[in-house]
Amino acid sequence: GAVVSQHPSRVICKSGTSVKIECRSLDFQATTMFWYRQFPKQSLMLMATSNEGSKATYEQGVEKDKFLINHASLTLSTLTVTSAHPEDSSFYICSALESGQGAGTDTQYFGPGTRLTVL
Amino acid sequence: KQEVTQIPAALSVPEGENLVLNCSFTDSAIYNLQWFRQDHGKGLTSLLLIQSSQREQTSGRLNASLDKSSGRSTLYIAASQPGDSATYLCAAPNSGNTPLVFGKGTRLSVIA
């Protein structure tokens, strides 16, 4: 199956700093990528949809100025958590969409996640 | 908007038991549904993907069924083992195919 990588896998930062997380599709091109967030013992919640060459679409309640998304190429999307605070500590998982042939054949492949801890 | 519910939230069984995890979804206009496994503190492992044209899908000791008309899916695990202990997540698309909307998961513990 297709492979999606994330970097870094784990990051600890001080409150007020910015953190960038990279998501790469290694063996396919992804026009669309998704960013999810998972708090402890909670499920994955979609934060935003990242589209190559255009602005990201954010879910209700997600601050676009705090979570900056850049999808500058067909294999790379980045999520920058700006002015991070302890409440931003979470597990961030990206997903890249591989287009299939025919309706309903697109497949989401998930990265291994990035654990962010803000002190 | 798609909503996915999983029951039970947690389950503890002795080794060797067969078990069923339940998933329900509100929007049945989906092309497929997926089951994932998540080990503690780790990412997702895709277990089974069921296309809307299929009624079930099997992989080893796992069998997933899909009933679109009733908005339900089940994951059946046969002869459970301690290594099956993990959180199992059901995910259905928000509209048609993507993006996936996840349930809260069932946390499974298989006791040796």
Burial of residue A51 (number of CB atoms within 10 Å: 0-12, 13-18, 19+): middle
Distance CA B62, CA B45 (A): 14
CB B52 within 8 A of CB B34: no
pLDDT in tens, A58-88: 999 999 999 999 998 999 999 999 999 999 9
Q: Which residue of A has its CA nearest to B86?
A: A41
Residues 1-30 of B with CB under 8 A from A: none
Cα distance between residue A95 and residue A77, in whole Å: 10
Render pLDDT for B34-69 as a digit per residue (tens, 0 to 9): 999 999 989 999 999 998 888 999 999 999 999 999
Task: For residues B84 and B37, give the distance between their C-alpha atoms in angstroms, rounded to a whole number.
Answer: 9
With CA atoms as reference, the chain B residue closest to A42 would be B104
User: Number of CB pairs < 8 Å for A and B?
Assistant: 52
Q: What's the pLDDT tens digit per position in B10-37?
A: 999 999 999 999 999 999 889 899 999 9
Question: B112 exposed, middle or buried (CB, 10 Å; 0-12, 13-18, 19+)?
Answer: exposed
pLDDT of the residue at B11: 96
Residues of chain A with pLDDT under 70: none
Amino acid letter for position A62: V
* SS3 label, residue B59: strand
